[in-house]
A and B are shown apart, each in its own frame.
Chain A
Amino acid sequence: DAMVIQNPRYQVTQFGKPVTLSCSQTLNHNVMYWYQQKSSQAPKLLFHYYDKDFNNEADTPDNFQSRRPNTSFCFLDIRSPGLGDTAMYLCATSRDLGPNQPQHFGDGTRLSIL
């Protein structure tokens, strides 16, 4: 049973056209994360929510925003995508913060900017 569900699985959008990716979880976890993974690279953390508290990584571009309207859902908004934003976007959850808290990943949204 899928526990972290990302939609859509594939998204193609035009340069500069806003795009929203969604993530839902059935685990009732407190923490939700968004990662960017470019081809043959490690996942790179963009930001995370602990409950409603938003935590942005220092090097995450302002172009990237996130919303978490409730425990189950989290959205990644890219306001004006550039060609360099073509990547796999991964959502993950963990029960709580801190080490020993396994992160559970979804299967990602593969985003292509044309």
Chain B
Amino acid sequence: QQQVKQSPQSLIVQKGGISIINCAYENTAFDYFPWYQQFPGKGPALLIAIRPDVSEKKEGRFTISFNKSAKQFSLHIMDSQPGDSATYFCAASNFGNEKLTFGTGTRLTIIP
């Protein structure tokens, strides 16, 4: 019940296209859903996060869509750029359990 399932495992998108990564969870107690971006040889960096009281959050080219009834959330990267090529992890946590439960990661490659 603590799992967060992430798909796809890898994704290739053309420059300027939209990259979409999906995550699903089972634990209804989760109430914080961050996305992390990790470049090779670097630690993960917080990209954007959402609470379940909103259905969408946008920061620049990055948008989280959240569907509480379906227990799913997704990351959309608009106008994808080669510099966005990285591994993306979704995660979830809840108050009282400070452990971040990570998804399995998506390796995103943006091609010219």
Binding site for B on A (CB under 8 A): 4, 31, 40-43, 45, 48, 57, 90, 92, 97-108, 110
**Number of chain B interface residues as a range:** 20 to 34
Q: Do the beta carbons of A42 and B99 come within 8 Å of each other?
A: no
Instruction: Say yes or no: A97 contacts B43, CB within 8 Å.
Output: no
Q: Is the interface of A mostly helix, strand, loop or mixed?
A: loop
Task: List the 7 closest pairs (A to B, CB-CB), nearest first.
Answer: A99-B32, A105-B43, A42-B102, A97-B98, A102-B46, A107-B43, A105-B44
B76-107 interface (Cβ within 8 A of A) = 89, 93-96, 98-100, 102-105
Secondary structure at the B interface, as helix, strand, loop or mixed, is strand
Closest to A42 in B: B102
State in angstroms the CA–CA spacing of A54 and B91 once bound together.
23
11 cross-chain CB contacts under 8 A: A31-B98, A41-B105, A42-B103, A98-B98, A99-B32, A100-B32, A107-B41, A107-B42, A107-B43, A108-B42, A108-B43
